[in-house]
Chain A
Amino acid sequence: MSAELEVPATLGALGDIAALVRRLAGSAGLGKGASYRIRLAVDELATNIVMHGYRGGDGRITVRGRSGPGRVRIRIEDHAPAFDPVQGRLPPEPHTAPERRRIGGLGIHLALTSVDEFDYVRRDGRNISTLTVMAEGTDPCPPLP
Chain B
Amino acid sequence: MPLSVSLSIEGDTTVIELDGELDAKTAPDFHQTIEKAAGHGTSTVEIRMAGVGYMASAGLRSLVFAQQKVGEHVTIKVVGAIEPVARTIRTAGLDRSIVLSDD
Tell me, in angstroms, the Cα distance from A106 to B56 when the chains sit together. 10
Q: Given A11-B24, A109-B91, do A98 and B57 touch, yes or no (CB 8 Å)?
A: no
Chain A residue contacts of B67, Cβ below 8 A:
98-99
Chain B residue contacts of A119, Cβ below 8 A:
none
User: Taking CB as reference atom, which chain A residue is nearest B2?
Assistant: A15
Q: Please, how many residues of chain B have a CB less than 8 angstroms from a CB on the other chain?
A: 21
Q: Given A44-B56, A107-B57, A110-B57, do A101 and B64 touch, yes or no (CB 8 Å)?
A: yes
Indicate if B25 sits at the interface (CB-CB under 8 A). yes
Please determine whether B84 and A36 come into contact, CB atoms closer than 8 angstroms.
yes
Please determine whether A94 and B56 come into contact, CB atoms closer than 8 angstroms.
no
Q: Digit string of B1-39 for contact with A (CB within 8 Å is 1, else 0)?
A: 100000000000000000000011100000000000000
Chain B residue contacts of A25, Cβ below 8 A:
none
Q: Given A92-B92, A98-B64, A99-B67, do A107 and B84 touch, yes or no (CB 8 Å)?
A: no
Tell me, in angstroms, the Cα distance from A94 to B67 when the chains sit together. 15
Q: Can you list 17 A-B contacts (CB < 8 A)?
A: A15-B25, A36-B54, A36-B84, A37-B84, A43-B23, A44-B56, A44-B57, A47-B24, A98-B64, A98-B68, A98-B94, A99-B64, A99-B68, A106-B91, A106-B92, A107-B57, A113-B91
Q: Which 10 A-B pairs have the closest CB atoms?
A: A94-B93, A107-B57, A92-B93, A11-B25, A98-B67, A36-B84, A47-B24, A103-B61, A106-B57, A99-B68
List residues of B whose CB falls within 8 A of some A CB: 1, 23-25, 54, 56-58, 60-61, 64, 67-68, 84, 88, 91-94, 96-97
